[in-house]
């Protein structure tokens, strides 16, 4: 891994010391049933710091998490006489579409294994947590642990700004190069806090929301300017509280967030001695900068060698024009599972790896990394219908409304909105395993676990109370 100044990177990796008290507190409260799950969560949240310190590269971190997940599943199978598999219809559609896509596209078995490594752990984590024989005390402990791991990322973001300035890389202790994580992470936190605010009407919640918005801005992520107000709108809508005055307030928030983003992103420098600001805050000049930035970016994308496929939204039209006009390709994919990755050393030498392979072999740009397009290109629409259907049902099942509190159920509904927005128009962070998928499928599995009811969890706690 090559990033920036190695001494600076190691200094930032040392922020793991901020997390150690939380780890020590949590691991003194563990029992056998939650030990493996806690290790998976811990490795996900510390992936970036462990890599910067040279202790555990990201690829090995993911491998260890998969191994722990496998051990955990085997343990659950031996503990329980029957394993609960919800949403058989959607799960069957996922399996059948994967097999059909593999056979129809004559895909390489090596690429199939690689694709499964990138997607199936999420579903396995969901079913693992769903079947975990978890008790009330463990539920409370895990909930507090997750909340504290979220909260500690805020002071880490302050450290990052002092060391590097506003920068897309170095996302808390969690990741070093997956910039979209900072946006998705913030959206999950805001969904939780907004559901708390709408039900509890606690003004402290708004302070925490702005602190997590700062976390996203520290990563230079423009998407939160649009996505967070959408979460607010849906929250009001689900509660029957949406009004014209509240819409105007939300639009005002968009303006403030946009201006703050521009000020920090365009007036800070990435420097070894920290953050420097080149001018004072000015609302009008900030919007001028923002307009010029987007016009220049759009022009660069359209005039680049890969054209509109570099743009997240325009890439949809590009795909359906170039690759998705055939019904078989639309339903079962163009490349087959794993087709966006090289299957042997000859392909790696010819096309490169990662994004280079996708660009060089298929002439598709950055926009094709959006979760929906990334999957449609490989395995088709049928797989996505099954995948989205399973996630949707896991957030809206009739039994959930009966056993969950109003706040918990609202959080689940907003969480699906976050998943949908991110996967359809922004990134693959809810598809390809990382800290986001760990948190997301943990929450889905926990809330659907038969042992979980809202009475088990201290639902009205804010981070400051934990």
DSSP codes joined into one string, 353-408: SHHHHHHHHH---GGGGSHHHHHHHHH-HHHHHHHHHHHHHHHH-HHHHHHS-HHH
pLDDT at position 71, please? Answer: 94
Q: For residues 334 and 105, is the Cβ–Cβ distance under 8 A?
A: yes
pLDDT at position 258, please? Answer: 66
pLDDT of 195 higher than 90 = yes
237 is a domain residue: yes
pLDDT of 273 higher than 50 = no
55 is a domain residue: no
pLDDT at position 416, please? Answer: 96
256 is a domain residue: yes
116 is a domain residue: yes
pLDDT of 414 higher than 90 = yes
pLDDT of 83 higher than 70 = yes
38 is a domain residue: no
Q: What are phi and psi of 159, to 5 degrees?
A: -60, -45
Q: What is the mean pLDDT of residues 421-444?
A: 92
For 260, the 3-state DSSP assignment is: helix
185 is a domain residue: yes
pLDDT tens-digit series, residues 279-290: 444 444 545 555
Rounded Cα–Cα distance for residues 283 and 252 (Å)? 13
The total of structural domains in the chain comes to 1
What range defines the domain where residue 216 resides? Answer: 89-121+176-465
pLDDT at position 310, please? Answer: 55
Rounded Cα–Cα distance for residues 199 and 461 (Å)? 12
pLDDT of 461 higher than 90 = no
> Among the listed ranges 113-117, 137-141, 205-209, 300-304, which one has the minimum average pLDDT value?
300-304
Query: What is the Cβ-side half-sphere exposure of residue 89, based on CA atoms within 13 angstroms?
Result: 6
157 is a domain residue: no
Which of the pair, 457 or 329, is modelled with greater confidence? 329
Cα of 313 vs its chain's centroid, Å = 19
Q: For residues 374 and 428, is the Cβ–Cβ distance under 8 A?
A: yes
pLDDT tens-digit series, residues 237-269: 998 887 777 777 777 777 666 666 666 665 554
234 is a domain residue: yes
pLDDT of 361 higher than 70 = yes
Helices 371-379 and 406-425: angle between axes, nearest 10 degrees: 60
**Smallest Cα–Cα separation from 159: which of 359, 18, 351?**
18
Average model confidence (pLDDT) across the chain: 81
Neighbouring C-beta atoms of residue 136, cutoff 10 Å: 13
């Amino acid at each position: 891994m090559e990033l920036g100044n190695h001494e600076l990177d190691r200094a930032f990796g040392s922020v793991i010391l901020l997390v150690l008290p939380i780890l020590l507190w949590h691991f003194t409260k563990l029992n056998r049933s939650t030990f493996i799950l806690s290790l998976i969560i811990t490795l996900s949240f510390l992936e970036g710091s462990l890599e910067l310190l040279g202790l555990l590269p990201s690829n090995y971190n993911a491998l260890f998490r998969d191994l722990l997940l496998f051990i955990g599943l085997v343990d659950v199978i031996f503990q329980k006489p029957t394993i609960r598999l919800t949403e058989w219809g959607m799960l069957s559609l996922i399996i059948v579409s994967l097999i059909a896509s593999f056979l129809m596209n004559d895909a390489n078995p090596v690429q199939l294994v690689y694709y499964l490594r990138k997607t199936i752990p999420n579903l396995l984590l969901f079913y693992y947590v769903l079947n975990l024989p978890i008790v009330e005390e463990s539920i409370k402990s895990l909930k507090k642990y997750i909340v504290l791991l979220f909260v500690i990322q805020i002071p880490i973001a302050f450290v990052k700004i002092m060391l590097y300035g506003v920068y897309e890389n170095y996302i808390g202790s969690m990741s070093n190069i997956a910039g979209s994580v900072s946006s998705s992470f913030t959206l999950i936190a805001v969904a939780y806090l907004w559901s708390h605010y709408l039900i509890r009407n606690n003004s402290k919640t708004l302070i925490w929301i702005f602190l997590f918005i700062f976390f996203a801005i520290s990563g230079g992520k423009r998407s939160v300017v649009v996505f967070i107000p959408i979460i607010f709108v849906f929250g009001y809508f689900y509660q029957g509280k949406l009004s014209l005055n509240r819409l105007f307030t939300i639009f005002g928030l968009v303006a403030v967030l946009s201006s703050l983003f521009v000020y920090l992103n365009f007036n800070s420098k990435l420097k070894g001695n920290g953050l420097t600001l080149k001018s004072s805050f000015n609302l009008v000049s900030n919007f001028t900068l923002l307009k010029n930035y987007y016009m220049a970016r759009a022009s660069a994308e359209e005039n680049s060698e890969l054209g509109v496929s570099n743009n997240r939204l325009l890439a949809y039209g590009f795909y359906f024009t170039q690759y998705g006009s055939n019904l078989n390709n639309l339903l079962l994919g163009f490349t087959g599972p794993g087709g966006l990755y090289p299957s042997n050393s000859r392909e790696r030498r010819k096309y490169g790896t990662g994004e280079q392979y996708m660009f060089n072999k298929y002439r598709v740009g950055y926009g094709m990394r959006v979760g929906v397009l990334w999957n449609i290109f490989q395995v088709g629409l049928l797989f996505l219908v099954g995948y989205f259907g399973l996630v949707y049902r896991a957030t809206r099942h009739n039994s959930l409304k009966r056993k969950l509190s109003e706040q918990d159920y609202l959080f689940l509904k907003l969480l699906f909105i976050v998943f949908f927005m991110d996967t359809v128009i922004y990134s693959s962070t809810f598809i390809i395993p990382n800290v986001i998928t760990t948190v997301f499928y943990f929450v889905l599995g926990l809330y659907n676990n038969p042992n979980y009811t809202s009475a088990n969890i201290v639902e009205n706690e804010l981070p400051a109370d934990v």
